[in-house]
Amino acid sequence: MARAAVQRRLTWRRGRVTRRVDETPRVRTLVLALEEDWPGHLAGQHVDVRLTAEDGYQAQRSYSIASAPEDVGQLAITVERIGDGEVSPYLVDELTEGDQLEFRGPIGGYFVWDETPGGPLLLVAGGSGICPLMAMIRHRAARGSRVPTRLLYSSRSLEDVIYREEVDLLAARSDGLEVFHTLTRDRPAGWTGYARRIDLEMLTEVGWRPDEGPLGFVCGPTPLVEAVAEALVQLGWSPDRVKTERFGPTGG
């Protein structure tokens, strides 16, 4: 917590959308080209995005950076379309290759991982809460880190799993990344993974023992984050080794 404050001004920038990736039926990744003066980011940080209508009306939202810091020259955000949202339907459905997007950042310095905090890692995600954790997983892979890492990822169904192929490919490298899915609503025939909301028993099976000195990052909707953080503390984890970030569908 004794980190020096970063006292630079966060100015608004414009990034051109260079690529869109359909992640799930409701989720799309936008890749933005970065200018050279981008200061770089830490895995887990976010950006603020600002939209401006013709009459001057503006709306801002925060989105986690999903790409690794090593992915120089570009920045990816992954956006879930919230039905009655104001910003997310625009980002998912309207914004396209060649369009400009205003944003500023990087923001946040607590929910970040840069290999130094030590200990085996437990990453717990619900839905689009995977985004900042994906930046950590990609950073870990880009660094060639072998920090033992377990991802426990809760999705409604297999088609709602964001970054599924990439995560499975990274897990197949056998460099210490293990991936566990739980599907809470629909399962394909023959599904052998978890099939319920994340609970104490699941965290006992997947998570590290407290005496292994683990570090946990939990990101998702508030009920999931509350339940997981509470369960980890109950299992004996030190509260200051459980870092949380919550995504609500609010406003989107």
Partner 1 sequence: MDFISRGFRGRPREQAPAGRLPPGQYMVRDFPVLSAGPTPHTPLSRWTFSITGEIDEPRQWTWEQFRALPTETITKDIHCVTKWSKFDTVWEGVSVDTLLDGVDTTAEYVLAFSDGGYTTNIPLQDLTEGKAWVAFAFGGEPLEPEHGGPARLLVPHLYFWKSAKWVRGLRLMSENSPGFWETYGYHDYGDPWREQRYSGD
| List of residues contacting partner 1 (CB under 8 A) | 1-10, 14, 48, 50-54, 56-62, 86, 90, 94-95, 99-102, 107-111, 222, 226, 229-230, 232-233, 239-240, 242-246, 248, 250-251
Q: Which is nearer to partner 1, 17 or 142 (CB)?
A: 17
Q: Which is nearer to partner 1, 177 or 214 (CB)?
A: 214
Shortest distance, position 66 Cβ to partner 1, whole Å: 18
The maximal CA–CA distance of the chain, rounded, in angstroms, is 58
Shortest distance, position 111 Cβ to partner 1, whole Å: 7
Q: Which is nearer to partner 1, 133 or 167 (CB)?
A: 133
Cβ 16 vs Cβ 32: under 8 Å: yes
Q: Which is nearer to partner 1, 7 or 174 (CB)?
A: 7
Q: Rounded to whole angstroms, what are the CA distances from 171 to 120, 131, 178, 217, 240? A: 15, 17, 6, 18, 28
Residues 6+ apart with CB under 8 A from 84: 252
Q: Which is nearer to partner 1, 48 or 175 (CB)?
A: 48
- 137: which 2 tokens? 């997983």
Shortest distance, position 119 Cβ to partner 1, whole Å: 16
Shortest distance, position 36 Cβ to partner 1, whole Å: 20
Q: Return left, alpha or beta for 73; rule: phi > 0 is left, psi -120 to 50 is alpha, else beta.
A: left
Cβ 154 vs Cβ 224: under 8 Å: yes
Shortest distance, position 72 Cβ to partner 1, whole Å: 22
Shortest distance, position 189 Cβ to partner 1, whole Å: 37
Q: Which is nearer to partner 1, 126 or 141 (CB)?
A: 126
Q: Which is nearer to partner 1, 107 or 142 (CB)?
A: 107
Q: Rounded to whole angstroms, what are the CA distances from 138 to 156, 251, 252? A: 23, 29, 25
Shortest distance, position 102 Cβ to partner 1, whole Å: 6
- 135: which 2 tokens? 């930046």
